[in-house]
Every structure is written in structure tokens, then in C-alpha cells.
Amino acid sequence: MAQLGFDFEVQPRRLTKVTPARLATFDDCPRRYRLSYLDRPVPQRTGPWAHSTLGAVVHNALRALFDLPAERRTPARAAALVTEHWKDGGFLDAEQAAEYRERARGWVAGYVDQHDVSADPVGLERWVSASVSTDEGPPSLIVEGRADRIDDRDDELVIVDYKTGRREPDEDEARGAQALAMYAVAAARTLHKPCHRVELHHVPTGTVAAAEHTAQSLRRQLGRAGETAAELRTATDTLAESGDADELFPARTGRRCAWCDFRPSCTEGQRAAPAARSWELLAP
């Protein structure tokens, strides 16, 4: 990643370690960040959500598929892996769970039928990490995270992220995804190959939304990450010095409070929206 101007050899006095999940949580709601990562013991949470269960099953089935020899990566085997990894958490009842299990079997089988899955990825749920600078100075961040899949195509890395939501992603979403940009930078550093292409694979439809990053677009994403990381670090340091937790990590309320994992522990969220049922975010 020399074209980005990152100096991986010079170490600053203090590096802030960030992951896409932590940054997104803090941006979304500082209160949820505190409840998730700082408060101990962890405050009361809701039970499982059906849409999260569904997404996890599909991810696990696809990971298991690529662990198999290429000749065994068939649509039928992919569907069977969904059944093997299935869980019922969050669904209305056994009947609804069975309906979505069959949908997921069809999604994954169709994905394997539509796409070439013969090549071995260089990473499956691979943890990648890099020390980076968000300006012209020495490194100030350690960006890291776990990428769903990393391919090697024509001696360049490609970040693949699976999606199972209601809406098909598009190129703008792929280009604007901070997590994918961070994975691209960290994968290039970890695996010592260039990485510019990022892809969102919508498993229910087989749609692939792809974007090609430049050094400038990756730099912009890292700049955004650095700004959030600075706010996060200041709030965390001040809290450690006996700062006011509610002022430093305010609740950012809205409709999403209806399905927040920490709704039972957040009175502001409870007032902001009525509680969603655990299966409401499933695609109809």
C-alpha cells in the first residue's frame, strides 16, 4: 500500500486501535458503544433477533462451503450446510423458523449455482490489521477487523462481504462502506498484496455490488475513521478520569431504538420507540 503513503515502520507514541464494528456503533449511538464495550458487567440485553440469526447462518454455511475441496462446493451441499448450521433464535415459532430455513437453503444454493466458487479464498473470516496514518504524519491508528472473505484475483486482493438484508446493495453503498475500505487497507498490509476492489454479495438475489478504491478514496475513509476514533478516545479517557458517563456517551435516539440490543438497559431508548418483535426485521 505504498501508494497511500502509509509508513508502517514508524511507530507513534500512542496508537488507537479501532474496528469497523466499534466505529459504526459509536457513530450510531455513543450510549450503545459504552454499554457494549465499556460497562462491566455487561448490562441486560434483549434476546436474539431472527434477522441476525438468519444472517449468521448464511455466513457460517458459506464459510464451511469454502473449507471444502472445490469439487464438493455444489448447490446441494451448500443447502445442506444451511441446515447443519441452522438455529431458531428470534423467530416467532418453529413454523416461521422452518420457512426461513428453506429460504436460506435456496439463497445459498442459488448463490453457488450463479457464481464461480471453485477458487480457494486467501482468507475466510480472516482477521487483518494495519498501523496507518490518517494525515501526513506518523501512524495514529491500528485498523483491524474480520473480513468475510478475501479473494486473490490476478495477484490483487478483493474484499467480499456477504449481505442477507431486504435491500440489494449498489455500487455507491460498496464504495461508501467504511468497513470494506478498512478491510482493504488492513488486508494489503497483512497479506502483502495490493487491495482496491471491494464487493457486497447479496446472497438472496446473487447480486454483486462492487467498487474500485483509489489511494485517495481509501485515505478519505481512513480520515473519517480517524475523526470518529479521536472522539471515541477522548470520551473513553475522560470517563476513566471519572467523567459523567451519560454526558460523554449520550443516547442517540430514533426508530432504531425499537430493535436495539441494549433497549432493556436504556430508558431513553425505551421512550423513543416501542419495542420491536424479534422477527420484525425479516424480509417479507
Would you state the cell numbers that stand for residue 206, as one nine-digit string? 446473487
**If you average pLDDT over every residue of the chain, what do you get?**
94
Asked whether residue 169 is assigned to any structural domain, the reply reads yes
E strands of the chain, at which residues?
16-18, 123-132, 141-153, 156-163, 195-202, 207-212
Asked whether residue 195 is assigned to any structural domain, the reply reads yes
Asked whether residue 228 is assigned to any structural domain, the reply reads yes
Asked whether residue 196 is assigned to any structural domain, the reply reads yes
pLDDT band at 135 (very low <50, low <70, confident <90, very high): confident
pLDDT over 80 at 8, yes or no: no
Total domain count, the chain: 1
Asked whether residue 281 is assigned to any structural domain, the reply reads no
CA proximity to 210, closest of 255, 232, 177? 177
Asked whether residue 65 is assigned to any structural domain, the reply reads no
Asked whether residue 81 is assigned to any structural domain, the reply reads no
Asked whether residue 252 is assigned to any structural domain, the reply reads no
pLDDT over 70 at 12, yes or no: no
Does this model's pTM top 0.75? My answer is yes
**Residue 218 domain boundaries:** 2-39+120-232
| Size of the chain in residues | 284
Would you state the cell numbers that stand for residue 29, as one nine-digit string? 449511538
Give the mean pLDDT of 53-57: 98
Partners of 127 in the beta sheet? Answer: 146
